[in-house]
Amino acid sequence: MSTRSHSHTNRLALQQSPYLLQHQHNPVDWFAWGSEAFDKARREKKPIFLSIGYSTCHWCHVMERESFEQEETAKVLNEYFVSIKVDREERPDVDKIYMTFVQATIGSGGWPLNVFLTPDLKPFYGGTYWPPERKYGRPSFRDVLKNVQEAWSGKPEQILESARSMHDQLSGMLAREATNGPALTVADLQQAGVALKEGYDRVHGGFGKAPKFPTPSHPLYLLRYARRFNDEAAQKMVLHTCERMAAGGIYDQLGGGFSRYSVDEKWLVPHFEKMLYDNAQLVNLYLDAYLVSGEARFGDVVRDILRYILRDMTHPEGGFYSAEDADSEGKEGKFYCWTEREMKELLSADEFKVAARYFGVTREGNFHDHSDPQALPEQNVLSQMHPKLDAQEQKHLAAAKETLLSVRAKRVRPHLDDKVLASWNGLMLGAIARAYAVLGDAVYLDAAVKNARFLEAKLWDRSTKTLYHRWRGGERDQVQVHEGYAFLTQGVLELYQATLDPAHLEFACALAETMLKRFYDPKEGGFWQSPEGSQDLILRVKEDYDGAEPSGNSVAVALLLRLGAITDRRDFRDAADKTIKLFGPRLKRQPHAVANFLLAFDFAHVEPKRVVIAGARSGAEFQALLKAAHSVYEPNKVVLGVEGLVEAFAKNLPAKDGRATVFLCTGTQCQPPTSDPAVLKRALTGR
C-alpha cells in the first residue's frame, strides 16, 4: 500500500502475490521464499529476516510504512541480513511453522509475523509488529535488528545451538502420533456441545468477548448438537447470533458481505477487511439457519453475501478473489462510513428520516479510526438499530440504500487482493453450489459451474494429477498445499450433490485420490500440510486447528466420509476413520479448537442417509426431487445419482414407470421408492 516514490525496485517486482508486490519499491533488498535467498544466506553466513503477512493486513501496512520504506532501516537489513517476504495466504505451510515458534516463545502471534532464522531456516528469535520507536510496551524494530546482529556476530555458535534445540522442541510440539486411547463416543459430542455453549453472549449473540469473531464452525456444530440432543436452547443461541451479526456493522448493510470481525462485543464496529473464506463459511451457516428456522431473512442474508461476491469478488472467467482491505486512501473504514451531513445532502427528507433512525446515524458518529482519530470525525458505521418499519418506510429505506450504494461505488475502493487460491475458492464453490441447491437461484449454479471449470483449467494439471495453489495474472504457482486439495474437493463434491452431474463426482474423486497419495500418513493417520520431499520446509505439519479457516484435516475427514458413502470406497472411509482417531484426544480436550472436526465426527457417528435419485437429470420431476432433498436440514445425508462413480448398490436402483424416482437408503435398507417430493421431505424429517 506504499505511496512513496518508486526510486527503488527490488526483486519482488517479479512476483504475482499482491502482498509481495506491495513491497516491490521498498529500499529493502527483499527476496521471495526460495533457493536464491537460502543460498545467499548460507554463502555469506548471514541470518535470515523472514517477514510474513498478507495484502489486507492493517498492521503489515503500518510496519511497511514505518520501517520497510525507511532508508536507514533498509540499510541495516541489507548489510547484515538476508530479507525474505512471504504471503501467508499463498504459503500457509511456511506460516504455520514459524507462527508456532513465535507463539511458543512469546505466548501470542499475529501478522506481520517477523522471525529471524539461521541460514538453514531454523528460527531463533521472533515477534509480530515492532514499531519504529519504543512504544506499546514493545522494543523498536531498529533495536531488535541491532541486538540480533550483535548477537549473531558475537556468539553465532550459541545461536545455532539454541536454534537446533528449538527446532527439536518444535518438532515435538507439531508431531502427531496415534494413541491407543478410547474411541470417541456420542458422549464426547454432547460434552463438546455443552462446552461450546458456555461462552454464549445472551445480550448480543455470538461466543466470547471483544474482539468478536463469527467463527462459523462453532455455531454450525451447535445446530448439529441441538438436533442430535434435542437442545432447543442451543438452536436459539445460534439463530440469535445469526440475527445479531446480520444486524450489526460487521455486516455491510448496503453492499452485502461480512467483515473480518467486530472490535466490540455488539457486532457494531468491524475491522473492515472482507475475506473470501469468512463469507463462504457464513453462507453455509445462514443456509443452515434458514433450513432450521424456515425464516426468509436468513436466506436473504445468503443472497446479499453472494450478490457481493459475484459483483465485487469474481474474476471475469469465474475465479473468486481473495480479500478486500480495511483501508481506503490510507484510512480504515473510509469507504464504508457516513456522516449525518452527507446523508442529509444525498437523501430526501423522508428517506433521511427513515434511514437515520433505521441505521442509528447520529451527528457525533460511532466510529473513529484508531490510527488517526482526528482524520475522519463524525463517522457512522451503519447497523440495524431500529429495524421495524411499515410498508411506506420500507420504500423510503430501499430508495435510500440504493442512493447510498450508488454514491459509495464512486468512492476510492479498498485494495483488492485479486489472487485466486484453490483453497478459498473451494470453500466458496461449495457454498454457492449449496446456495443453489437450497434457494434454487440458477445464477448460483452458473457461477459455481464456471468457477469449477476455471479452477480445473487454471490450477489442475490433468496429466500429472497435480493441484497448484495460486493463480493470478495468467500464471499459476508451483506450490501444493493440503488445504487446496481438501477445500476444493469439498467444493466440487457439493457441486456434484447440487447437480448429480457425474463429471463433478469424477473430478472430486481424482482430487481425493491425489490428496491421499501425496499428503496422507498411512502409518499414523492424518494429512501433512505439505507434500513429502518439500525442500524449503524444516518440518512437516499436520494442521488440526479450526480457527478463522477450518483445518485441512477436518475438511478432509468430512469430505472423505461423504465420498465414501457416495462411492462405497473403503480407502476413503479408512483414511477418515484413522484421522479421527489421531486427533481424537484433541477433540476431547479442546473442542473449541477443533469445532469443524466436530462436524465431521458427528457425520462419522451414524450411518448416513443416502438420497438416491434415478431418472433423466434434465427432467422437471428429477429436479423437483433434487430440490426436495436439499430443502430439509439433515446434515448427515448424502445425495447421489445412479451414474458414474457412485456405489454399485445405487446403480441398480431403477426409475419406476419412466418417472424420476427417489430412494432413501440407510446401509442396505431402502424405504419404498417415490416420485413425490413431499413424501421425500417427510421421510427425511421423520414427520
CATH number at residue 614: 3.40.30.10
Let me know if residue 561 belongs to a domain.
no
For every residue of 3-27, DSSP letters joined together read: -S--S---GGGG---HHHHHTTTSS
Share of the chain above pLDDT 70, in %: 97
Kindly give the pairing relationship between strand 31-32 and strand 82-87. parallel
* Tens digits of residue pLDDT in 275-332: 999 999 999 999 999 999 999 999 999 999 999 999 999 999 999 999 999 988 888 8
Residue 263 and residue 396 in one domain? yes
> Are residues 303 and 258 both part of a single domain?
yes
Q: Enter the pTM of the model.
A: 0.95
Asked whether residue 170 falls in the same domain as residue 77, the answer is: yes
Mean pLDDT across the stretch 558-568?
A: 98
Residue 246's identity, in one-letter code, is: A
pLDDT at 172 over 90: no
Residues 150 and 251 in one domain: no
109 and 229 fall within a common domain: no
404 and 305 within one domain: yes
Flag whether pLDDT at 628 surpasses 90.
yes
Predicted local confidence at residue 580, as pLDDT? 95
For the chain, how long is the longest CA-to-CA vector? 86
Residue 531 domain-assigned? Answer: no
Residue 2's pLDDT band (cuts 50, 70, 90): very low
Q: In the block, which residue shows the cell 499428503? A: 519
Is 166 within the bounds of a domain?
A: yes
Residue 54 counted as domain residue = yes
Give me the pLDDT at residue 290, please: 98
Rounded-to-integer distance, Cα 122 and Cα 124, Å:
7
Query: Does residue 671 belong to any structural domain of this protein?
Result: yes
Residues 6+ apart with CB under 8 A from 66: 131, 132, 141
Where among 417, 451, 478 does a domain terminate?
Answer: 417
Q: In this predicted model, what pLDDT tens digit does every residue of 23-50 receive, in sequence order?
A: 999 999 999 999 999 999 999 999 999 9
Better-scored residue on pLDDT, 134 or 499: 499
Pair 252, 400 in one domain: yes
Looking at the domain assignment, is residue 248 inside a domain?
Answer: yes
**Does residue 339 register a pLDDT over 90?**
yes
Q: Are residues 163 and 60 in the same domain?
A: yes
Range of the domain at 238: 199-417
List the alpha helices (DSSP H) in 248-383. 276-293, 296-312, 340-346, 349-359
Domain termination site, one of 392, 417, 442 = 417
Of the candidates 422, 416, 438, the one whose C-alpha atom is nearest the C-alpha of residue 487 is 422
User: Does residue 648 lie within any of the structural domains?
Assistant: yes
Whether the per-residue pLDDT at 460 is higher than 70: the answer is yes
> Does 534 have pLDDT greater than 90?
no
The answer on 373 and 294 residing in a single domain is yes
CA atoms of 343 and 380, how far apart (whole Å): 10
What is the helix, strand, coil percentage profile of the chain, to 5?
50, 10, 40
413 within a domain of the structure (yes/no): yes
**Domain closes at, from 398, 417, 436:** 417
Over the stretch 187-218, which tens digit does the pLDDT of each residue have?
Answer: 999 999 999 999 999 999 999 999 999 999 99
Tally of domains within the chain: 3
406-431 per-position pLDDT tens digit: 999 999 999 999 999 999 999 999 99
Query: What pLDDT sits at residue 3?
Result: 46
Sequence length of the chain is 687
**Residue 657 pLDDT level (bands cut at 50, 70, 90):** confident
Which residues, at least 6 apart from 654, have a Cβ–Cβ distance to it below 8 Å?
614, 642, 661
Q: DSSP for 301-316?
A: HHHHHHHHHHHHSB-T
* Percent with pLDDT over 90 in the chain: 89
* Domain shared by 251 and 397, yes or no: yes
Confidence band of 368 (pLDDT split at 50, 70, 90): confident
Predicted confidence at residue 370, as pLDDT, reads 62
254 with 328, same domain: the answer is: yes
Instruction: Answer yes or no: do 140 and 230 share one domain.
Output: no
Alpha carbons 623 and 616: distance in angstroms, whole number: 9
